[in-house]
């Protein structure tokens, strides 16, 4: 049966806000979870992923989990370790203890952000390309995908790991023309990931059907995902403002864009 009650972690965040507004139209009853309270959502669970008991309680009785909570940019290793690595482990342990059989994990293109981006007639990047994290953040997403595989192999918990490109209302850079996922396509993809049968651990890229796409959407489509959007209508304006991607610029040469070159954001 399709999951109905879904725990949405990271519900106060950018993507969490988009998804908590869009997913109910697909018939889900969402339970919200975040470190931060959410205006107008008094029933949301306000807790830290570090609190195992709170995570377990939040997971109790749901049919599936969409796990978005965590640090979403580069940070110190210690912070990434706590929120993304230990936090995601707590979510999987809670799912095992409470018998939740399906997780949708917000992985990221930064799990393989060091991969050269396709240029010219280069083939699209397949899902089985080696992971090459570009940051501690990307490393935590690579860990999350391995954790998902482990919990499937050892405990039978299914996961769709969605290597999200950039899910924002509009693309705001030339790189994003290739990796953008419209919020509506994001909701379609999460719905497919929640309802497809026998996914085991499936890895998919998360984006719209962009004209300038860099990766292969076939595993996402195999779940039943049919993207409806394309960033191309935004291309002329963004390219006029920012210029085409420059292959000589290291921040334009790899999948992870500026995550590859920017100094890490040390949160002091």
Query: Which residues belong to the active site?
Result: 137
Mask of contacts with ligand NAI, 12-51, x by CB under 6 A? Answer: xxxxx-----------------xxx-----------xxx-
Q: Which stretch binds ligand 15L (CB under 6 A): 107-115, 146-154, 199-207, 246-254?
A: 107-115
Instruction: Measure Cα distances from 59 to 76, 138, 186, 231, 235 in Å.
Output: 28, 26, 23, 36, 42
Half-sphere exposure for 200 (CA within 13 Å, toward CB): 8
Residue 88 within binding range of ligand 15L, rule CB under 6 A: no
Judge contact between 156 and 200, C-beta under 8 A: no
Identified binder of ligand NAI from the candidate list 7, 8, 44, 68, rule CB under 6 A: 68
Determine if 72 is a binding residue for ligand 15L (CB under 6 A). Answer: yes
Rounded least distance, CB 248 to ligand NAI, Å: 26
Question: How would you classify the pairing of strands 64-67 and 5-9?
Answer: parallel
Q: Closest distance between ligand 15L and the C-beta of residue 213, in Å?
A: 14
Helix (H) or strand (E) holding 38: none
Evaluated on CA atoms 75, 135, 106, 89, the torsion sign reads: negative
Question: Would you state the structure tokens that stand for residue 218, as one six-digit string?
Answer: 């076939």
Residues in the chain: 268
Are 255 and 113 spatial neighbours (Cβ–Cβ below 8 Å)? Answer: yes
Can residue 163 be called a binding residue for ligand 15L (CB under 6 A)? no
- Using CB under 6 A as the binding rule, whether residue 66 contacts ligand NAI is answered as no
CA–CA separation, 55 vs 251, rounded Å? 37
All residues at 6 or more sequence positions from 30 whose CB lies less than 8 Å from its CB, including other chains:
5, 6, 7, 8, 11, 20, 23, 24
- Min dist CB 240 to ligand 15L, Å, is 21
User: What, of ligand 15L, ligand NAI, none, does residue 80 touch, CB below 5 to 8 Å by kind?
Assistant: none
Query: What's the rounded Cα separation, in Å, for the pair 236 and 189?
Result: 27
Q: Which residues pair with 141 in a beta bridge?
A: none
Looking at residues 88 to 117 of the shown chain, list those that interact with ligand NAI (rule: CB under 6 A).
Answer: 106, 108
CB 23 within 8 A of CB 187: yes
- Sole residue written with tokens 């890490």: 264
Q: Which stretch binds ligand 15L (CB under 6 A): 17-25, 33-41, 43-51, 108-116?
A: 108-116
Residue 204 contacts which entry, ligand 15L, ligand NAI, none (Cβ below 5-8 A, type-dependent): none
CB nearer to ligand NAI: give 54 or 235: 54
Out of ligand NAI, ligand 15L, none, what residue 231 binds, judged by CB under 5 to 8 A for its kind, is: none
Position among 9, 84, 109, 161 found at the interface with ligand 15L (CB under 6 A): 109
Q: Give the residues lining the site for ligand 15L (CB under 6 A).
A: 72-73, 108-110, 166
Which residues make up the interface to ligand NAI (CB under 6 A)?
Answer: 10, 12-16, 34-36, 48-50, 68-72, 83, 87, 106, 108, 164, 166-167
């Amino acid at each position: 049966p399709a999951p109905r009650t879904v725990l949405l972690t990271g519900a106060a965040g950018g993507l969490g806000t988009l998804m908590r507004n869009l997913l109910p139209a697909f018939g889900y009853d969402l339970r919200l979870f975040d470190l931060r309270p959410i205006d107008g959502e008094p029933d949301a669970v306000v807790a830290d992923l570090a609190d195992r008991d709170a995570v377990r309680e939040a997971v109790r009785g749901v049919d599936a989990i969409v796990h978005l909570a965590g640090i979403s940019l580069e940070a110190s290793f210690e912070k990434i370790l706590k929120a993304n690595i230990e936090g995601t482990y707590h979510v999987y342990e809670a799912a095992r203890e409470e018998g939740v059989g399906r997780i949708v994990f917000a992985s990221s293109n930064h799990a393989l952000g060091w991969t050269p981006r396709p240029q010219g007639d280069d083939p699209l990047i397949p899902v089985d390309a080696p992971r090459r994290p570009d940051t501690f953040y990307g490393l935590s997403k690579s860990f999350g995908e391995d954790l998902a595989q482990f919990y499937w192999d050892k405990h039978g918990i299914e996961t769709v790991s969605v290597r999200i490109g950039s899910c924002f209302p509009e693309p705001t850079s030339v790189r994003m023309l290739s990796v953008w996922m419209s919020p509506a396509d994001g909701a379609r993809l999460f719905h497919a990931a929640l309802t497809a049968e026998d996914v085991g651990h499936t890895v998919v890229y998360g984006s719209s059907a962009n004209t300038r796409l860099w990766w292969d959407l076939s595993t996402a489509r195999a779940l039943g995902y049919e993207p409806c959007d394309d960033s191309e209508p935004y291309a002329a304006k963004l390219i006029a403002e920012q210029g085409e991607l420059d292959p000589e610029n290291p921040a334009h040469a790899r999948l992870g864009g500026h995550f590859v070159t920017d100094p890490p954001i040390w949160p002091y």
